[in-house]
Amino acid sequence: MDKRVYVINGPNLNLLGVRQPEVYGPETLADVEKQCVDLGSDINLDVRFLQSSHEGAIVDWIHEAREDAVGIIINPAAYSHTSVAILDALNTFDGPVIEVHISNIHKREEFRHHSFVSSRADGVIAGCGTQGYMLAMQRIDRLVRS
């Protein structure tokens, strides 16, 4: 049976493709989900692709992943910069965590430069556009094989 990876997306990412396409690109979240699922079937990772604009829902999914997933890919969006609750939840998860940002948060406003999640993440990908999700899938694959 394929190993499961949770791909968790935070607030406003449901509007990907519509919201500031000059920053986040033209692809929709459904496009990204399809790419993750397709790549997952090539490398034997079963993708559970999730999005919520509610912090508690994200915390609940991280708790579910404790029993259900070998790794987590998370774009916490604005919660990256504010959420100790998401950091605490990730600290209860034993497998690899890769943090993804579509834009390069370090090239943007100063308040985006710090991410609480980064202190738990095993890897951080920022500024690679939506390709960052594919890179994260490959990294999770490598880490769960080793």
- Contact residues for ligand DQA, defined by CB under 6 A: 12, 75, 77-78, 80, 101-103, 105, 112
Nearer to ligand DQA, 58 or 70 (CB): 58
Closest to 70 (Cα-Cα) out of 104, 98, 50, 95: 95
Which one from 6, 79, 101, 133 is the annotated catalytic residue?
A: 101
Residue 101 among the catalytic residues: yes
Which one from 24, 54, 79, 114 is the annotated catalytic residue?
A: 24
The count of residues in the chain is 146
Shortest reach from residue 12's CB to ligand DQA, in Å: 5
Q: Residue type at 78? A: A
Q: Catalytic residues, which ones?
A: 24, 101
